[in-house]
Chain A
Amino acid sequence: MKIVVCVNHVPDTEARIKIGADGKGIDKSGITYILNPYDEIAVEQGLRLKEKFGGEVIAISLGGESNKETLRKTLAMGADKAILLKDESDRDSFSVAKALSDNLKEINSDIILFGKQSIDFDNSQLPGLVAEMLNLPSVSVVVKLEIENNQVVCEREIEGGHEKVESRLPVVLSVQKGLCEPRYPSLKGIMAAKTKLIEEKPVISNSKKVEIVSLRLPASKGTGKIVGTEPTAAKELVRLLHEEAKII
């Protein structure tokens, strides 16, 4: 089975985000980048499929030189090879999907895995766009996966429940927490990653359709207020929730 996992290099969940000088991007100085946590689940799923069916796992990422760190982590986890689509320019989901699918066409894989979203811009668009561009079926927010022969059975997370769907290989899946627990890259994996190849490919075209106009940080949370500790305070609490917070 030829398995491709598309991975993104995103600011650490604990990073303190500041808006950059141009107001359209973030200030990247001092930020640690990590493998997008949902993509980490996709890598784990890819490795499990390889362990079950044989074949190879190829990790692919679009971005600058520093994306190699994230690709190296996927190799340390056990991916067989990695491809860096090298491009530092600002892109929207459509242009990333275009660059990815142009390359994915050549790979001709059985399954393409994504995290359900990247924790940087949270667009959740890539899996669907790529599937469309490759004319493949896609299933999003997958929490359970079974493959037999070419039959794919997935459970998706939906509001208040799970939806069971069937499809066929080749397929594009976006995965959600709960599907599987990502492994740690072992010391042996880290050592082995040094001898694995990260193939670099330039990406020239940028067919961007969406422009970021401005970015702003969310308003800082106000401090909490203790209305009182006695049962008599309940009335005042209800009044404030109704009149001030306007949530009931």
Chain B
Amino acid sequence: MNSTEQTIPTFEITENQKMVQQLARDFAEKEIKPVIMKYDESQEFPLDIVRKMSELGFMGIIFPEEYGGAGFGYLEYVTIIEEISKADPSMGLTIAAHNSLCTNHIYTFGNEQQKKKYLPDLCSGKKIGAWALTEPTSGSDAGSMRTTAMRDGNYYILNGSKNFITHGSVGKVTVVLAITDKSKGKKGISAFIVDNDTPGFIVNKKENKLGMRSSDTTALAFDNCAVPIENLIGEECKGFHQALTILDGGRISIAANALGIAQGAFDASLKYSKERQQFGKPISEFQAIQWKLSEMATQIEAARLLTYRAAFLKNKGDEIIKESSMAKYYASEVAVMVTNEAVQIHGGYGFTKDFIVEKFYRDVKLVTIGEGTSEIQKLVISRELLRI
């Protein structure tokens, strides 16, 4: 951690952040909170909420206006994801996966023709985007990928299957990673833009999940799915390298997702502890509860600083491999701890679906797993520290 002074962001919240924060907070309060338990119960993807978020520009936050985006940076992006996640972590995840993974992959590595063709519809939310890396037998070990893309004239023919794909069934465009050169292992992976209506693109089982239940998570299969060669992103065999860069940015959005969950659980706990009376006084007057609140609040602030610092550096254009991993690792573990304590503070009520902390407690576990487990984050951080 040298050169600290250059890497500390300003602690003042900018005018832009303030305005988008107010917007996202008002929207979440009025449009998401009142209806979200219905979607959690049914596991239905809330298309209506996503349509409204699209109208506000939340599906193209970090992309330039020339492609139909809002033209904001990562600070505003993180702010919006945090605020939306306070009301529903699944919708925070939708913004994160759509912006950071699918759309950003095309924006960062696509050619001008691909950007012009795909970005406007993705940024406006007309099309929801997905990103397919994980497979049934290939998770953290991307080198064990089995999906292939074999060149045949003007097409690549995709065969194989993908797992746990966010927006797998509601998506209209998917960035798919597949092997074009089997001899090279993970260095033989390439990235493709696939329209979901391409013949041979099959949406398989939708997962029945512990949490993030209004998020759409499905398996995909490719059965001789012919993708035109102009849909190759960048060069052949650069897919793995591209994916790592995309995940560096993606981790900031999952850190923000975690931050929102933690803050939402904390806010509910603070309120409840002042209302719930036991032994003739609010439980917030007992030191056992006060200490929990202090620990939760302090760790949330620390997670926020790491997250906003990573966002600040990303805006600057710095390399953020270590910083985004630290933010994602720490914020997600803090969120797990905070939601656990939040249910504890609520006691029996926290175990019921009448209190939002019950939902946070289930939703939170995804953030220590998705886009790289905490263990993988530690691996990434240590590699950077030791420069292995």
Contacts and interface: CB of A to CB of B under 8 A. Distances in A.
Interface in B1-39: 15-16, 18-20, 22-23, 26-27
Contact of A187 (B15, B22, B26, B72): B72
A195 to B, nearest CB: 12
A190 B19 contact: yes
Contacts of B223: none
B27 A191 contact: no
Contacts of B16: 190, 194
A185 B71 contact: no
Nearest to B60: A187
B56 interface: yes
Contacts of B275: none
A161 to B, nearest CB: 29
Contact of B20 (A69, A72, A190): A190
Nearest to B71: A191
A72 B20 CA distance: 12
Nearest to B72: A187
A126 to B, nearest CB: 25
A188 B57 contact: yes
B55 interface: yes
A187 B70 contact: yes
Contacts of B71: 191
A73 to B, nearest CB: 7
B265 interface: no
Query: What secondary structure prevails in chain B residues at the interface with A?
Result: helix
Contacts of B15: 72
A191 B56 CA distance: 12
Interface residues of B, number: 19
B58 interface: yes
A191 B61 CA distance: 11
A69 B56 CA distance: 19
Contact of A186 (B18, B56, B76): B56
B323 to A, nearest CB: 25
Interface in B39-64: 55-58, 61
A133 to B, nearest CB: 34
A9 to B, nearest CB: 13
Given A191-B65, A191-B71, A72 B19 contact: yes
A84 to B, nearest CB: 15
B65 A187 contact: no
A194 B65 CA distance: 14
B280 to A, nearest CB: 13
Contacts of B55: 186
Interface of A: 69, 72-73, 76, 184-188, 190-191, 193-194
Given A186-B55, A186-B56, A190-B20, 10 more contacts: A76-B19, A185-B23, A186-B57, A186-B70, A187-B57, A187-B76, A188-B57, A188-B65, A191-B71, A194-B16
Question: Which 10 pairs between the two chains have the least Cβ-Cβ distance?
Answer: A187-B57, A187-B70, A186-B56, A190-B19, A186-B57, A188-B57, A191-B71, A184-B56, A184-B23, A184-B27
